[in-house]
Chains A and B, each alone.
Chain A
Amino acid sequence: MITRSYRHPLNSSRLEPGEPLLEVSDIRLRFGGITALDEVSLTVRQGTVHAVIGPNGAGKSSLLNCISGLYRPQDGTIVVHTPAGAHDLTRKKPHRIARLGVARSFQNIELFRHLTVLENLMLGRHIHMRNRLTRSLVWFGPARRQEIAHRELVEEVIDLLQIQSVRHKPVGALAYGFQKRVELGRALCMQPALLLLDEPMAGMNAEEKEDMARFVLDAHELAGVTAVLIEHDMNVVMDISDRVSVLDFGRLIADGAPEQVSNDPDVAKAYLGEEVRA
């Protein structure tokens, strides 16, 4: 239910729902002798919540790190579609990829510990700000106007995530659940075209998970943000995602609608193991 109208759209992708937004094709990532990702291909469509699941060490986080440019796959392409055209991300630096509207959160909270919640969220606005040294040193004029202008969107995200009370607290001092929310908020402040969430509900109790799932759905439904979600909790995945991709030992073993994937024998095998035949 919409309880308040938001003036700023949080989704910056202008594609029609259902169009391919991100296309990962045959990527292969090796660390020495270990193959973390082996010919993985998947397509994320505009307007969906796309879950990536799999047992520990299956390569889920590696996949996200490849998309956001922290890892460079040896083979394959990762293409993100914007109205301006298609961009291959595999040879781009992370900050260039962020400028294309790919925002992310991290598995182990990676916030700017010494900064306040507000400053962390304002850093989410970095790609939309024009920073000039002389203007910053002077403050009065363009720099101040810019701070105020971006503050409005940040406050909407603060409202959306219900973190008003901790706005001015340094994030290092916040409780775990709040930190996770701030991390989601920082990514939302980028007005992303694509939101990558690496286990946003890890280490939470049922109630906190419920809240977090609500926030992800709010971002998705109210703001129309396309999200790629890594998650271990199968109930959450089945509840909130439109499409599920399953990785096991770096290979894509299933890809489809949630109910289809949950009945897949390969998936059951990956999660539960195989019966030993004598």
Chain B
Amino acid sequence: MAATSTGIHHRSYASELALRHTSAEKFRLVLVVLAVLAVPFVVSPYWLTIANQIGIAVIGAVGLNILVGYTGQISLGQGGFLAVGAYSSAILHVRGDLPIPLSILLATLTTAVIGAFFGIPALRLKGLYLAIATLASQEIILFAVRNWDAVTGGRDAISIPRMELGRFVFRQDFHWYWVILPIAVLAVVSARNLFRTGLGRSFMAVRDHDIAASAMGVDVTRTKVLAFAVSSGFAGLAGALTAHYTGIVTWERFTLEESILYLAIIIVGGLGSIAGTVYGAIFMITLPALITRVGQDMQGTLPGIAEKLPAVQVVVFGLVIVLFLIFEPRGLARIWQRLKDYVRFWPFRY
């Protein structure tokens, strides 16, 4: 490959298929890696908690984007699948006495299977109708969790002992950061890989035109079910991590609101963009935290603001989604792309 002033010239297909081509791109990647590694050493414990939440949200949202953004199957059931992951990992660890890594892995697979099952309506339904069907799966799962006392403990929370490695106990956010970060990176990279191979392309083919996809030999039924399974697998992993990170599992954490938060993350970030999902997760998790922080700081000047904060958060949440849908439906990923182009072409407009 040669990057010259006339453009980037590839000498082999392998070099063209690489994700980073120019030295500028590689340099930027190094900067990002350094920044991410530095985070736990420079930020306060409060923001480290937020960072861990972002890491988990990235995993779940990447899963949802695989389904909604890449395969075109709308899902309002991500909260339910997070619940399946959290509960199965907690139960496998607490009652089944399995080591935590193994129970997380098994929870991921369990959620994938259950997700594939709840994806069956997608074989018949599209668009809004599918959204309602997945809404039903969300409610069915939470109903089962609340009422299946023998397995899930019903409305009571399951508390999970802290993860240990030898004599080392993962107690603080600082420890968990180093658990969640690599898993999140792995999730992002593998999702990115998926969509540069034939399998990922068949997902996108189903999204763009299912009849043409079947005429190309894509088994649409199998592809949709597989997309649900993969997507739910990511959700299950995120749910399982939530369970062990917080040390407690309750159904209240996985309501429809959670599903909508994940949908908001991928809309704000950019449907059909893995990088966008990361930006979206950072944005949508940081925003409420930021509002809370600002509210607390203004407590002195504006007394009584604290109790209004939840309302402010809801309004801002709604406003952000509406503004994105109007001004940049392709999300933060597109904004970032435009910004890069602007810098690249400066001082010319295009």
Contact = CB atoms under 8 A, between A and B. Distances in A.
A113 interface: yes
B216 interface: yes
Contact of A144 (B17, B201, B202, B209): B17
B205 interface: yes
Contacts, number: 118
B278 interface: no
B193 A137 contact: yes
A147 B196 contact: yes
Q: How large is the interface on B (under 10, 10 to 19, 20 to 34, 35 or more residues)?
A: 20 to 34
A206 interface: no
B230 A95 contact: no
Chain B at the A interface: SS class: helix
Given A138-B193, A147-B198, A112 B215 contact: no
B325 interface: no
B32 interface: no
Given A133-B226, A136-B197, A139-B196, A147 B17 contact: yes
Given A70-B215, A186-B216, A112 B208 contact: yes
Contacts of A131: 197-199, 202
B14 interface: yes
Contacts of A113: 208-209
B169 interface: no
Contact of A98 (B199, B207, B214): B214
B212 A147 contact: no
A239 interface: no
Contact of A112 (B14, B209, B214, B272): B209
Interface string A53-80: 0000000000000001110000000000
Most buried by A among B199, B200, B204, B220: B199
Contacts of A135: 197
Nearest to A144: B17
Interface in B184-238: 190-191, 193-194, 196-202, 204-205, 207-209, 211-220, 226, 230
User: Which 10 A/B pairs are nearest by Cβ-Cβ distance?
Assistant: A98-B217, A139-B193, A127-B217, A112-B208, A137-B190, A131-B199, A94-B214, A136-B197, A110-B212, A129-B198
